[in-house]
Amino acid sequence: MLVPIIAIIAFAVIKIARINAARGTDSPSDLANRVDELEQGLQNVQQQLTETQERLDFAERLLAKGKEDR
């Protein structure tokens, strides 16, 4: 039971070390590009969330209308 916990901790430590190593080699322009990519990704997720909320609202209205018709 202790082995999986140690494996998870080791995996996390290795992952953090890789992130820290990669972070040190980026130039300011690389960081700006990464920020731009993250902003674009965030905008995409926000758009998808908005569309999903609209679909949910539509489905809720249909269900409510179906209950009223009964």
Whole-model pTM? 0.54
Q: How far apart are CA 68 and CA 5, in angstroms?
A: 53
Question: Which has the minimum average pLDDT: 7-16, 34-43, 59-68?
Answer: 7-16
Residues 26 and 34: beta-carbon distance below 8 Å: yes
Average pLDDT for residues 40-45, to the nearest whole number? 92
Residue 56 predicted with pLDDT over 80: yes
Handedness of CA 40, 25, 6, 9 (dihedral sign): negative
Two tokens at 66? 């179906």
Mean pLDDT of the chain, nearest integer:
84
Domain layout of the chain by residue ranges: 2-69
Establish how many alpha carbons lie within 13 A of residue 65's alpha carbon, considering only the half-sphere containing its beta carbon.
6
